[in-house]
């Protein structure tokens, strides 16, 4: 039965041009062609096979990752791939590896915090992978509280060196990816001490291992921190532990863009803000937002295809049972996730633009938009990773029992993805950063400083505090102006309520700690407003392709009406809508589910994922699920023999004993 498309009827139902939607999803025709070409290249290369990955013991799994990463590098060189193509290739190889941190954090840290001279020295080595680096910030005792890090870098003017030292057990670096077994170098964050004074955290380039035999250098203790959550999953990564015993590095290995230490040991602060030390985190948080749409769309693609294949109940006169995708409850769980995948795609595109803009401004010594960029990257990283991790798990449940099989692809996807809620900033800690930014904005209202960008709506605070929704019938909820005002009024009112409550405390920090849960909710409301607004703005662009814009309008409506339904307590509680208007929103949401239904399979086809990338029997493009599940079961190592290892040792004596008892 090879070659039959079991989802062909579903595909025929599409009311839009799928090829044009693929381009919208990819961001441009160029991006589409690039992804299409590289994903097929990876899928057709046996060197990148994923076969049996979840069954391998850790050591073999890790060795296999080293093989794949090295093979990927070989192919990148052989095919003379550009930086953009190489990054795509690593993405489609789809296995967390030390290279993620080398390219994703070590190099960006040197670029962002190194002087021109330092970049000239280190970047060519890193680009050719003649050195391999990681980002060593977090310690056993401190992750979120970066200012609490304990590793020291003490300047020795006698030798013109820094002495890097781990003074306590809790100062051991703990977690950095690529550190445990591979990295030769690290950007290490340590307290800078000179002339007996502690100047706080700074980055230093430190060599950890010999470039000859890869042995740790004298004074360096380094290893892997141990097995993590899930089979396979993130265990392909060597998250590491690192201790220094008075390790000496030349002074010029301190990353000196933000501050410098002179030959005499004098500390000099540049005129750039100290927060630039945190710049690598801003960059990576922005990439994590784009990646959320990749991970969520992947899970949704699997769950949607399988929901169209799977049938349960409702057979009449011997006819077929109902496809589970036709149950309203399935749609109510699945379609908002499909809509979220598209929403996160577009907000990710916008955030990339914002990041590029702030980077250009920083180069021109304009630091004015840095606080907003920090708040947006932190908040959207938190919002999108939380929703994506929850969404992947929901997709697993949407696939019933078969979703729990590793061959569905969902358990591994979840296990690889879920730490995104923690790394690059715990999601709650990041929301509180957004809340601080919002409270600062509210406190400055009336001071003459006009809020701009994503907080421009605060400039209309008087209107937003007293306006009421004018929705009278369900379809009024399709008017962008009605929706944007609803989300703005909710976010503004929640922030103002927090600010009013905060003002009742004599000590603002005590107040902030006491009201943290409310503040985090206000931050979520603000971030949801950003996602909704950016989706609506996207729809105001010229979008070619028959029916493409209409489908995006349906998805956008589902995204915001589902949020409105889920958080109706906020909208009702702040008095912007009535319960009747909330109920109309729900009516409209149901109507949109019906509009989306015939297009569901084509909307996930628009992600253009290869079966290799999805790595899921339930999500196969052709929908040929049952024969392939059956076939895969027989490939399990337990089925290599009829009689299991251990039978003679354990089960047989047990059975014999029971036989004896029965005879008695």
Ligand X SMILES: CCCCCCC/C=C/C(=O)SCCNC(=O)CCNC(=O)[C@H](O)C(C)(C)COP(=O)(O)OP(=O)(O)OC[C@H]1O[C@@H](n2cnc3c(N)ncnc32)[C@H](O)[C@@H]1OP(=O)(O)O
Ligand Y SMILES: Cc1cc2nc3c(=O)[nH]c(=O)nc-3n(C[C@H](O)[C@H](O)[C@H](O)COP(=O)(O)OP(=O)(O)OC[C@H]3O[C@@H](n4cnc5c(N)ncnc54)[C@H](O)[C@@H]3O)c2cc1C
Options 61, 76, 105, 225; binder of ligand X; rule CB under 6 A: 105
Q: If we measure between CA atoms, which residue out of 80, 73, 74 comes closest to residue 97? A: 73
Closest distance to ligand X from the beta carbon of 433 (Å): 5
Options 48, 244, 278, 335; binder of ligand X; rule CB under 6 A: 278
Residue 374 or 620 having the CB closest to ligand X: 374
264 is catalytic: no
* 474: its two tokens: 């369900």
Q: Does 281 bind ligand X (CB under 6 A)?
A: yes
* 469: its two tokens: 């929704």
Contact (CB, 8 A) for 428 and 520: yes
Instruction: Locate all alpha helices (DSSP H) within 540-651, ordered by sequence.
Output: 548-566, 568-573, 579-596, 600-605, 611-614, 625-633
Residue 324 or 347 having the CB closest to ligand X: 347
Q: Say whether 349 sits in a helix, a strand or coil.
A: helix
Stretch that binds ligand X, among 97-105, 110-118, 337-345, 513-521 (CB under 6 A): 97-105
Options 112, 133, 177, 411; binder of ligand X; rule CB under 6 A: 177
Closest distance to ligand X from the beta carbon of 58 (Å): 19
Residue 230 or 623 having the CB closest to ligand X: 230
Q: Does 54 bind ligand X (CB under 6 A)?
A: no
The listed partner (ligand Y, ligand X, none) that binds 371, CB under 5 to 8 Å by sort, is ligand X
Q: Does 433 bind ligand X (CB under 6 A)?
A: yes
Q: Exactly one of 139, 394, 424, 488 is catalytic; name it.
A: 424
* 56: its two tokens: 């391998």
Question: Rg (Cα) of the chain, in Å, rounded?
Answer: 27
Residue 160 or 426 having the CB closest to ligand Y: 426
Closest distance to ligand Y from the beta carbon of 520 (Å): 8
Residues in contact with ligand Y by CB under 6 A are 101, 135-138, 143-144, 175-177, 234, 239, 419, 422-423, 425-426, 428-429, 432, 516
Q: Say whether 25 sits in a helix, a strand or coil.
A: helix
Contact (CB, 8 A) for 386 and 378: no
**Size of the residue set binding ligand X (CB under 6 A):** 26
Q: Does 180 bind ligand X (CB under 6 A)?
A: no
Distance, in Å, from the CA atom of 549 to the CA atom of 541, rounded to the nearest integer, reads 9
Closest distance to ligand Y from the beta carbon of 599 (Å): 36
Options 429, 497, 543, 591; binder of ligand X; rule CB under 6 A: 429
Closest distance to ligand Y from the beta carbon of 347 (Å): 22
Distance, in Å, from the CA atom of 43 to the CA atom of 38, rounded to the nearest integer, reads 9
Closest distance to ligand Y from the beta carbon of 278 (Å): 12
Contacts of 328 (CB under 8 A, 6+ apart): 590, 593
Contact (CB, 8 A) for 234 and 53: no
Residues between 121 and 150 that touch ligand X (CB under 6 A): 135, 137-138, 143-144, 146-147
**DSSP label of 103:** I
Q: Does 300 bind ligand X (CB under 6 A)?
A: no
Distance, in Å, from the CA atom of 528 to the CA atom of 492, rounded to the nearest integer, reads 12
Alpha carbon distances (Å) from 150 to 167, 189, 193: 7, 9, 11
- Helix, strand and coil percent figures for the chain, each rounded to 5: 60, 10, 30
- The catalytic residue positions are 424
Q: Which residues sit at the interface with ligand X, rule CB under 6 A?
A: 100, 104-105, 135, 137-138, 143-144, 146-147, 177, 275, 278, 281-282, 284, 287, 370-371, 374, 423-425, 429, 433, 436
């Amino acid at each position: 039965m090879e070659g039959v498309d079991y989802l062909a009827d579903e595909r025929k139902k599409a009311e839009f041009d799928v090829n044009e939607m693929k381009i919208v999803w990819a961001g441009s025709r160029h991006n589409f062609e690039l992804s299409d070409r590289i994903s097929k290249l990876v899928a057709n290369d046996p060197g990148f096979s994923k076969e049996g990955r979840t069954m391998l013991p850790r050591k073999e799994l890790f060795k296999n990752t080293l093989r794949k990463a090295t093979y990927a590098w070989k192919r990148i060189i052989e095919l003379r791939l550009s930086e953009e193509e190489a990054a795509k290739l690593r993405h489609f190889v789809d296995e967390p590896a030390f290279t993620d941190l080398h390219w994703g954090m070590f190099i960006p840290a040197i670029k962002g915090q190194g002087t021109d001279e330092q970049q000239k020295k280190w970047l060519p080595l890193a680009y050719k992978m003649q050195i391999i680096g990681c980002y060593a910030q977090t310690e056993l005792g401190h992750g979120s509280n970066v200012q609490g890090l304990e590793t020291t870098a003490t300047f020795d003017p006698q030798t013109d060196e820094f002495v890097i030292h781990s003074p306590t057990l809790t100062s051991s670096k703990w977690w950095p990816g690529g550190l445990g077994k591979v990295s030769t170098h690290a950007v290490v964050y340590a307290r800078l001490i000179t002339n007996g004074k502690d100047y706080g955290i700074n980055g230093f380039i430190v060599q950890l291992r010999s470039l000859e035999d890869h042995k740790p250098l004298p004074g360096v203790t380094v290893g892997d921190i141990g097995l993590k959550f899930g089979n396979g999953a993130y265990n392909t990564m060597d998250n590491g532990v690192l201790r220094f015993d008075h390790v000496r590095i030349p002074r010029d290995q301190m990353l000196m863009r933000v501050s410098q230490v002179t030959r005499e040991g004098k500390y000099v602060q540049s005129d750039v803000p100290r927060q630039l030390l945190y710049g690598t985190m801003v960059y990576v948080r922005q990439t994590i937002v784009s990646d959320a749409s990749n991970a969520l769309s992947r899970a949704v693609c699997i769950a949607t295809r399988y929901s169209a294949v799977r049938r349960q109940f409702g057979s009449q006169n011997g006819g077929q049972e109902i496809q589970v995708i036709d149950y309203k409850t399935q749609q109510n769980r699945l379609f908002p996730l499909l809509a979220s995948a598209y929403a996160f795609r577009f907000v990710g595109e916008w955030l990339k633009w914002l990041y590029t803009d702030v980077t250009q401004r920083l180069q021109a010594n304009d630091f004015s938009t840095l606080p907003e960029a920090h708040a947006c990257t932190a908040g959207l990283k938190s919002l999108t990773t939380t929703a994506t991790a929850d969404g992947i798990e929901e997709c697993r449940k949407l696939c019933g029992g078969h979703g729990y099989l590793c061959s569905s692809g969902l358990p591994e996807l979840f296990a690889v993805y879920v730490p995104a809620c923690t790394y690059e900033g715990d999601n709650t800690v990041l929301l509180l950063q957004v809340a601080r930014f919002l409270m600062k904005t509210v406190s400055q209202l009336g001071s003459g400083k006009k809020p701009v960008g994503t907080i421009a709506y605060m400039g209309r605070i008087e209107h937003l505090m007293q306006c009421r929704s004018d929705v009278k019938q369900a379809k009024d909820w399709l008017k962008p102006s009605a929706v944007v005002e609803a989300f703005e009024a909710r976010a503004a009112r929640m922030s103002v309520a927090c600010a009013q409550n905060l003002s009742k405390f004599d000590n603002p920090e005590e107040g902030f700690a006491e009201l943290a849960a409310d503040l985090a909710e206000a931050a979520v409301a603000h971030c949801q407003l950003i996602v909704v607004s950016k989706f609506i703005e996207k729809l105001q662009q010229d979008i070619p392709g028959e029916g493409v814009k209409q489908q995006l309008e349906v998805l956008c409506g589902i995204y915001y009406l589902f949020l409105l339904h889920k958080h109706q307590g906020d909208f009702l509680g702040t008095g912007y809508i009535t319960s009747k208007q909330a109920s109309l929103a729900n009516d409209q949401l149901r109507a949109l589910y019906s509009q989306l239904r015939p297009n569901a399979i084509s909307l996930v086809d628009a992600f253009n994922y290869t079966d290799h990338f999805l790595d899921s029997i339930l999500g196969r493009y052709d929908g040929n699920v049952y024969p392939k599940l059956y076939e895969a079961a027989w490939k399990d190592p337990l089925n290599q023999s009829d009689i299991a290892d251990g039978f003679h040792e354990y089960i047989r004596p047990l059975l014999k004993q029971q036989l004896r008892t029965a005879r008695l």
